[in-house]
Amino acid sequence: MELFVDSADVEAIAELNALGVVDGVTTNPSLILKSGRDILEVTKEICAIVKGPVSAEVVALEADAMIAEGRRLAKIADNIAIKLPLTWEGLKACRALSDEGHMVNVTLCFSANQALLAAKAGASFVSPFIGRLDDMNADGMSLIADIRTIYDNYGFRTRILAASVRSVNHMSQAALIGADVATAPPAVIKAMANHPLTDKGLDGFLRDWAETGQKIL
């Protein structure tokens, strides 16, 4: 499963990218607001750091305006994925921009039927929102599983991008189910390396090493 960073924080993205664990980045209007940066400027910086897809979201609501905004965003860099909402107008824009050869990430997906339409409209990625479904006492992971089954049944090439990830458990569950990609905030990605038994084991090793009185360097 590929890991995308869900952030517009250039420093945080660069830090994770330096470890070689970053396959792409997702942004949205809320993350751009949080960054306090101009969308074109910060997106260009991110695209220069990360080789993989960088999702940049349109804000228009009508298909023609979405297409125009999408074309503008696509000019930022070759690795831009135009992010469109999963509405009827968004699907129209998805078909048009996909036919032009652009990567498209269809976002705000909350049902298997929506994901099916996104695939048929030529989306490169579909982004089911796990955390927001969990917030409504629905099972976000069951949606990932349903989409995986549908896409595998019919050979759709649209990639499942698990989004609205809130925890390390979301990450491992998405990988077990077979999501192609999961996008998460930097803090969640870093937390994937943590385990209390790792810390306990390391403490024990260091205590024993100290008793040997030896040095490696």
Contact assessment for residue 84 and residue 90, using Cβ atoms and an 8 Å cutoff: yes
pLDDT of residue 115: 98
**Residue among 34, 51, 83, 92 flagged as catalytic:** 83
Question: Average pLDDT, stretch 126-146?
Answer: 96
The reply to whether the predicted model has a pTM over 0.85 is: yes
With cut-offs at 50, 70 and 90, classify the pLDDT of residue 6: very high
Among this protein's residues, is 83 annotated catalytic?
yes
Share of the chain above pLDDT 70, in %: 100
Question: Average pLDDT, stretch 116-145?
Answer: 96
pLDDT averaged over the chain?
97
Q: Which run of H or of E encompasses 147?
A: helix 140-154
Share of the chain above pLDDT 90, in %: 100
What is the Cα–Cα distance from 193 to 172, expressed in whole angstroms? 12
pLDDT of residue 195: 96
Question: Average pLDDT, stretch 147-162?
Answer: 98
Contact assessment for residue 165 and residue 183, using Cβ atoms and an 8 Å cutoff: yes
**Full set of structural domains in the chain with CATH:** 2-212 (3.20.20.70)
Query: Over the range 145-169, which residues count as b (16 or more CB within 10 Å of their CB) and which as e?
Result: bbbbebbeeeebebbbbbbbbbebe
What is the Cα–Cα distance from 58 to 109, expressed in whole angstroms? 16
